[in-house]
Every structure is written in structure tokens, then in C-alpha cells.
Amino acid sequence: MLHVLQHPLAAHIMTHLRDRRTPPAAFRRLAHQLGILLAIEATRDLATKAETVETPLEACTGRALARPLVIVPILRAGLGMTEPFLDLFPDVSVGYVGLERNHQTAVARSYYCKLPPLDDTRVLVLDPMLATGGSAVQALTVVKEAGAKELSFVCIVAAPQGIAAVQAGHPDVPIFTAAHDRDLNDKKYILPGLGDFGDRLYGT
């Protein structure tokens, strides 16, 4: 299932992320803000359990998160989405999957994988750009093989081809994105997109 973030602030932030004139410092700040909105949306259905606490006046029953949360950014661009989740969920566990896309063939090569225990967890795989979907499908496969049962994929911009690839390869995994873009160009970059997210984030 595809979930496209519907919020005026998200649309405002996306406009400035797309702007080629936005410098890296501002780009990082905007990406962080949008990441918080995406984190809230992608965790809307987290399971909770009853928990009793003592207020200064009396005891009351509230709700607490019932299961551990794990985020898995796809290196390196996915690191730019990690901090907003850590701000909201400071006790979250973080795993890493390193995939590097060949810019000529658009095929991803795996070079690193470090994951925490995934039994009875909710896992969010993070990658800002869902273009062809090759990296997303590969990362989701790796995480499932490591024991994850309940996953979501969270990105900032998604192309139709990437959405279709994830839905075909992992139909049980919902996709959360801030923008559903038009197409890919002949170099497999998203149109209109925002360029290379990692390069713009780190000024490289």
C-alpha cells in the first residue's frame, strides 16, 4: 500500500528541497523537518499497551509503545533520514544496509550489512529516493532474511517504477513517501525529483 504524505508544511518543505539553489545547510534542515513528518506518519499504527503512572495528583492509565522499533537506513543517503526518527524515538535500534548504485547500470551493489536482533520488532527501512526500486527491494529482502516480519519502507520521493518494483517484490510492505513523482530519466534519476539526495545533503 502506498501512503503519500498530505500536509501543507510537507508540500512547502518539498518545494524548497527541490530548488537547486537551496544550499546544503538549508537542505539538511529541510530534510530533517520533512523526516519528522514522515516519521510521525509511518508510525501512526504502532501497537501500544496500557501503562499505569503516578501523576502529581493521582494514578492514571496511559498508553506506551508495545514493541521495539528498529530503523534501517540504506547507506549513505538513508543516513540523512535517521536523525528525525532518533529525535522522536530515542530508544530505537539502528541497523545499516550498505548499497551503492552503479550510475551507468543503475544496479545496486551490497557492501555492508549490520543489523540488530529483529525478532518481534517493527522495522522501518529508510532511503530518501525510491527510483528504480532495486536498492529498496534488495534491502527489504536482506532485512526479511534477518528475521523481520513487520516492515515499512519510508522515502522522501518515489517514482512509479520504484513503487511498482517494491509492490511486486514485497507486496506486504507499505510505502510511505512525501512525494509521488512523474518518471525516471534515461540515467534513472527521478523527474522532477531533487537531484542526488546524498550529494545535496553533504555538499559533494
Q: How far apart (Å, rounded) are the C-alpha atoms in residues 72 and 94?
A: 6
Q: In sequence order, what are the residues at sequence separation of 6 or more whose Cβ sits closer than 8 angstroms to the Cβ of residue 144?
A: 151, 170
Q: How far apart (Å, rounded) are the C-alpha atoms in residues 70 and 96?
A: 10
Catalytic machinery residues: 101, 105, 196, 199
Closest-CA residue to 199 (of 27, 21, 57, 83) = 27
Quick one: residue 34, left, alpha or beta (phi over 0 = left, psi -120 to 50 = alpha)? alpha
Q: How far apart (Å, rounded) are the C-alpha atoms in residues 192 and 204?
A: 20
- Burial of 123 (C-beta count, 10 Å sphere; 0-12/13-18/19+): buried
Q: How far apart (Å, rounded) are the C-alpha atoms in residues 196 and 127?
A: 12
